[in-house]
Amino acid sequence: MNCRRGRAPGRLDLLGGVADYSGALVLEVPTHRSTVVVAEPADALVVGPVELPAPEVARLAVLPYAELRSTIAGVPRWTRYLLGVALVLVRHRVIRPPRVRLAVTSDLPQSVGVASSAALEVATARALGADDVVDPLRLAALCQEAENQVVGAPCGIMDQVAVAAGETGSILPVLCRPASAGATVPLPPGVEVIGWPTGVPHDVGGAPYARARIAAFMGKRIVEDAAARSWSWVSELPSDVVATLPETVRGADFVDRWGETPDRLTPVELDETYPVRAATSFGVEEHRRSERALTALHSGSISALAPLMAASHAGYTAMGLGHAAADAITEEAMSLAGVLGARASGGGSGGTVVVLCLAGSLARVPGLVR
């Protein structure tokens, strides 16, 4: 076997963000920066300090996921992403247990909310040859499974699809039900989408993200109980009913009355208080904002995106995913000539503000992600 190289970009989240787990439409732009994983022949699967002979890879790949997470809990966190992808691909018989050494290089910043983990996963899958066997959407789903079930981070599928199926310089519409990608929409001439890092690290496994996610699924359960019917996705719930949800619900009170949520990745914490109305409303309203934004992009009405991005930013704040640093950068960006819209993006709580602007408008700002 010769060396094989897998590359994947990051992504900038124009609209959608955490509405992906609600089954919403999201609008994503792959970055020029990327992660590269090289697989070179070896006697075992080697990732950093971890070396797994092929029989051990085969054994681990079929373990129940809870047992697998416990087994590899002691290895460095970054290696779990690569190992997770390899083990999921073997588990689903996409590849045989690999005998390769995986090496990573990247100019994509870490922990700033531009899908560096999804880029690492997709680049790993490509280095292992998965893109010869499965299409981009299936590859994205397998990488999401690795992050959810092996790494233990409850991400939606937005990042993996954007990274696996998007085109740099174009907007990729993704309907997260569970995942279908629409035709890419080229950015209008002279317009760019830029990531402005806040300097505050983002972690999709952190408490604010989990709290907002759980709250959205709580809202779905409460609405369904009141209506005596079910919906497949949070984003399908009727707005008028969502507006009547309680503003907050304590975990113990929810469990006593409604049991568990439909989400298997994020259990309800009994002592936590959840922003049910705001988190559920975000999934419903962000889906509609993305639909309106996509219509505006097709018609060339780029100015229509500014109020939609502002409403999205406010929604992040309402459900606890805002941050003072993101607010400050959004305000500063909107004061600059040529800026058409700005909002907190990705998983929020810091990370990156995404800015839609005329080309060159942020030329004097250092550290941007394109």
Strand runs labelled E in 176-329: 180-181, 185-186, 191-197, 249-250, 273-274
Q: Is 4 exposed, middle or buried (0-12, 13-18, 19+ CB in 10 A)?
A: middle
pLDDT of residue 302: 95
Measured in degrees and rounded to the nearest 5, phi and psi for residue 330 equal -60, -45
Q: Which amino acid is at 97?
A: P
Q: Output the CA torsion sign for 159, 327, 275, 245.
A: negative
pLDDT of residue 202: 78
Using the predicted structure, report yes or no on whether residue 203 has a pLDDT greater than 80. Answer: no
The class of domain 4-186 in CATH terms is alpha beta
Q: Which residue has the tokens 């691909």?
A: 89
pLDDT of residue 119: 98
* For the chain, domain boundaries: 4-186
Largest CA distance in the chain: 60
pLDDT digits (tens, 9 = 90+) for 235-277: 999 999 999 999 999 999 999 999 999 999 999 999 999 999 9
Strand runs labelled E in 75-190: 100-106, 170-175, 180-181, 185-186
Measured in degrees and rounded to the nearest 5, phi and psi for residue 112 equal -120, 10
pTM of the full structure: 0.95
pLDDT digits (tens, 9 = 90+) for 21-49: 999 999 999 999 999 999 999 999 999 99
Give Cα separations from 271 to 209, 250, 268 (angstroms): 17, 7, 9
